[in-house]
Structure 1
Amino acid sequence: MMDRTDRHCRYFLRQISARTLLYTEMVTSQAILHGDLEKLLGFTPEESLIALQVGGDDPARLAKCATIAAEFGYDEINLNVGCPSQRVQSGNFGACLMMEPERVADCVAAMRSASNLPVTVKHRIGVDDHDHYEHLRQFVEIVAAAGCQRFTVHARKAWLKGLSPKENRDVPPLRYADVYRLKQEFPDLVIEINGGILTLDATLEHLAQVDAVMIGRAAYDNPYLLAEADRRIFREAVAVRSRHEIVEAMYPYID
């Protein structure tokens, strides 16, 4: 989440749940190749499991990013094909790439060839009027053929013009059934659902249909939502930390 899941936020979230996969903020390929790597990509071992989310459309640049991600010790590299902001579109990446599945496939193939990290893709169910289920199915089929085995699907379409990024997270209706259908038609792929999921009860309901669930804003707005995730979602016999215990665990980090 942009301006949200920096290294300090991730360290805090890890005190609440040991098993949930955490994501960085989206970092552009250009920033990775020309910026301060420690500032952009640095993290502590305690944050793992952690995925680096990147934005870009150039296979060669993204391949270099994958190599760097592996050197830093990330567990996964995730290509963002879901962000609809005008700034992101101006760089020809994010949600607008759903109109170019072959280019996304080339990016995935290049990243896979550059490192042993799993390469995953986060995307919408469609963009603008290119939003029928068959468009979504074709996108996944083409990108999967390049070696992507995990797709995180925000169950809303994105409007590339006319809505702000915030409105694109709320205004387009949720179409969970399309994501469920993807799993039925691609049983060998890992299909993860995202969008409007506010509780662990809802998470468990979705897990009856798909392989994984991504929770974004709800976990940022109420981090303690994740307190029972290890026990309820991952079926681990662990004690649930109290809020007081979580704050105490942060003292050494803050010092």
Structure 2
Amino acid sequence: MSKQSDDDDAEERDEALLERFKEIVDASGSRANAALLTGNSTQQISKWINGKARIPFRQAAILAKAANRSLDWLASGEGSPFLGQDFSSQVGVPAEPLVDDEDVVYIPLLDVIASAGPGIENSNPIAKDHLPFPRRWLEQLNLPVEFARFHDSRGDSMTETIKEDAICLSDIRWQRPRLDAIFVVVHNNDVRIKRIGRGMEGRVTLISDNPRYETEVLSEPEARSLKIAGRVVWAGGKI
């Protein structure tokens, strides 16, 4: 076999490896989520996918685990790509964390959209999936996994603190407001993301971080029906 043939075979193997790696990144959620899991930038993830930088073993192992894919399959393309049960296909699963490892924990993603803007009704907040999250980040947030929940958000009333359409992580232990924190609040089945303030005569204020939005004032009877579902502690970064 000529040297040219050897080079062509090696190039084909490299391209196949990159295709498998791209599949793992996609299965982990997104390039942004892959960056979160590995502690690298999305630009670095793109370099690995495009073959412009060598894929480190540790990062490959973290992403393979998060995507429920086999490292042997990633390296060789042989055998089953999956590691047992495919968690990514689960819908309506119970809200308990899945089996994790020393680097990654799996946190329930609730079937809830918390509005950073007008209220959105959410009547059935069950877990529709689980998302991987670095264990060390959870420890830095002082958040036990059993009290951690992911949920989607919509609207821009909390920018720049929380970007529009961000996935948020909440600590569901919180039931009482603090002035220096952001909460998921439920009012008449509307789920909102707001800061909470106290007004006169039992009133409660719902405060937005985006100055374009006015502070909302709930009367004392309305305030009594307000419930706190958790404190937002992370939304692409620590809150």
TM-score (norm 1): 0.24
More strand by share: 2
More helix by share: 1
Higher RCO structure (Cα 8 Å, ≥6 apart): 1
